[in-house]
Amino acid sequence: MKILLSFIIALVVHFAFSFLFYAIGTGAELLWGGILGVLSFFISLYWVQKKNTQEITSNTVMAVKNVKGKIENFIDDSNLSDLYAIAEEEFENGQIDKGLWSHALIKAKGEEKFRKIEYMKLRVKQLEKL
């Protein structure tokens, strides 16, 4: 059972990273996915010996969701460059939506240096809906 669980974890890691490298366009997605899959097999085999199966399964599911979210963000961001350009031009011209500006501060967790980045993300989402 423990070897099977390790094998499943390795397959999930292999496919997740292969897809990630494919989305980035490295051209060596199977190679890197395979290397990371083999490494994850041995790491997860050791890990399975130390933890219970339910905890491992929930951690694996969360890790896959995180990778999926990062891949979706990467793909979405690459298709939205025109909208980011519009949002930045508006920002530089002083056309700032006050509500989004406040929301950006909350998303940036009070960090002023990240506020513009969060504002741009929110503004692009808004422009997407138009």
- One pLDDT digit (tens) per residue for the chain, 130 residues: 566 666 676 667 666 666 666 666 656 656 666 666 666 666 766 666 665 666 666 766 777 777 777 766 666 555 678 888 899 999 999 999 999 999 999 989 998 988 999 999 899 889 888 8
pTM for this prediction: 0.43
Enter the tokens of residue 107. 């998303």
At residue 98, the pLDDT reads: 94
Length of the chain: 130
Region class of 25: left (phi > 0), else alpha (psi between -120 and 50), else beta: left
For helices 112-129 and 98-107, what crossing angle results, to 10°? Answer: 120
Instruction: Tell which residue, 102, 130, 129, has the closest CA to residue 118.
Output: 102
